[in-house]
């Protein structure tokens, strides 16, 4: 017999509990574990429902839903992107997500996903770097030092072995914030005064800027042979980070082409320009880097399967007895499934007695 109380009370992970869980586990350990979950789901990519995210655009930003299912569980994330929020003291990106059982349709997890998305985005960059960069990368150039920056740096340190970090942001206070937050990370950190300075000697470049416009954070003359680039700031139509010539020189890897061609840096290219799907590299069905001198580019816009992986990871953490959740009374459960109104009447009676 089903545990009806368990079905009705849905585990909810608040921002406070997410932070506590991450700190208790260790941020770098979280990133290592999440990378493993994402890699596992990339290997079984064909099993998933796949659709470009459903987006509602406005002049101020975008609100999106990102659904997917592996036939056993169903997950979605609600996420926004509003660059102007930063000027008002608000987060550029906020999110929450839900995981449900395909068998019953009942939700099994509701959670904040602002912190969790930062973790999974960094883990995805680390996974891409592990498969596409030259062996044993040591220096990361991080352009755009906002809310994602520290997670990105720690993921590449924990998963790929990065030891040196070179920072640049048009707002130097953002770089100073990043250096301050990572002071005890063990990374050797250099603040740079230009993108050109930041990229010197780098094995990997990650761009994660927030402005919603066509930008050229990296130009062709900045890119040397053998570099790996994670371009993760472009995530909607009209928003890019790389000059078109950089794309034309690179071997390009993406999550889901129908979405990336609309939202990623490759929106600058013809629709038939060849790209490779990262899941095929992870699954061993397609080659990754071809040579030491090849320039590889992960044009990452974020895809629902990565959020699904993060939700699976989080469900496992709270089911292991960590206790970092509360239970919400979300599902109506009348004694007789067809008698929903009767349930309401009985509650009226209890209220009258009280």
Q: Hey, which residues are catalytic here?
A: 235
SS (H, E, C) 312-327: HHHHHHHHHHHCCCEE
Measured between alpha carbons, how far is 19 from 21 in angstroms, rounded to an integer?
Answer: 5
CA angle 349, 351, 354 (to 5 degrees): 110
Q: Which of 271, 250, 244 is nearest to 260 (CA)?
A: 271
62-69/54-57 β-pairing: antiparallel
Q: What separation in angstroms does the CA of 186 have from each of 99, 158, 166, 208, 232? A: 36, 11, 14, 22, 24
Q: What separation in angstroms does the CA of 269 have from each of 55, 222, 239, 251? A: 21, 20, 13, 13
Q: 180: exposed, middle or buried (C-beta count within 10 Å: 0-12, 13-18, 19+)? A: exposed
Contact between 12 and 326 under an 8 Å Cβ cutoff? The reply is yes
Q: Copy the structure tokens of residue 35.
A: 């990378």
Measured between alpha carbons, how far is 86 from 9 in angstroms, rounded to an integer?
Answer: 35
Residues with Cβ < 8 Å from 47, sequence gap 6 or more?
70, 71
Angle between helices 15-25 and 114-132 (to 10 degrees): 40
82 alpha carbon, distance to own chain's centre = 16
Measured between alpha carbons, how far is 150 from 293 in angstroms, rounded to an integer?
Answer: 28
Q: Which of 251, 255, 296 is nearest to 130 (CA)?
A: 296
Q: Which of 351, 340, 333, 305 is nearest to 50 (CA)?
A: 305
């Amino acid at each position: 017999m089903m545990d009806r109380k368990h079905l009705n009370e849905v585990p909810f992970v608040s921002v406070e509990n997410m932070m506590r869980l991450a700190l208790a586990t260790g941020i770098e350990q979280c990133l290592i574990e999440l990378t493993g979950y994402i890699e596992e789901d990339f290997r079984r990519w064909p099993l998933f429902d796949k659709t470009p995210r459903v987006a509602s655009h406005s002049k101020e930003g975008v609100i999106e839903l990102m659904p997917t299912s592996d036939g056993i569980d169903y997950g979605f994330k609600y996420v926004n992107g509003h660059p102007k929020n930063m000027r008002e003291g608000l987060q550029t990106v906020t999110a929450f997500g839900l995981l449900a059982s395909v068998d019953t349709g009942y939700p099994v997890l509701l959670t904040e996903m602002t912190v969790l998305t930062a973790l999974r985005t960094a883990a995805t960059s680390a996974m891409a770097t592990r498969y596409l960069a030259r062996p044993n990368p040591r220096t990361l150039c991080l352009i755009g030092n906002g809310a994602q920056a520290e997670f990105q740096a720690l993921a590449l340190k924990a998963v790929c072995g990065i030891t040196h970090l070179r920072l640049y942001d048009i707002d130097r206070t953002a770089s100073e914030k990043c250096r301050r937050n990572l002071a005890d990370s063990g990374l050797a950190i250099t603040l740079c005064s230009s993108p050109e300075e930041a990229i010197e000697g780098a094995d990997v470049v990650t761009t994660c800027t927030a402005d919603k416009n066509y930008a050229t954070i990296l130009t062709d003359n900045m890119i040397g042979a053998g570099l790996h680039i994670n371009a993760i700031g472009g995530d909607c139509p009209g928003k890019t980070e790389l000059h078109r010539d950089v794309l034309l020189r690179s071997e390009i890897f993406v999550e889901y082409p129908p979405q990336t061609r609309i939202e990623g840096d490759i929106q600058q290219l013809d629709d038939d320009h060849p790209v490779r799907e990262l899941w095929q590299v992870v699954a061993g069905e397609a080659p990754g880097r071809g040579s030491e001198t090849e320039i590889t580019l992960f044009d990452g816009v974020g895809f629902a399967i990565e959020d699904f992986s993060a939700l699976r990871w989080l469900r496992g953490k709270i089911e292991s007895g960590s206790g970092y959740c509360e239970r919400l009374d979300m599902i109506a459960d009348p004694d007789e499934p067809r008698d929903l109104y009767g349930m309401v009447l009985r509650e009226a009676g209890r209220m009258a007695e009280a």
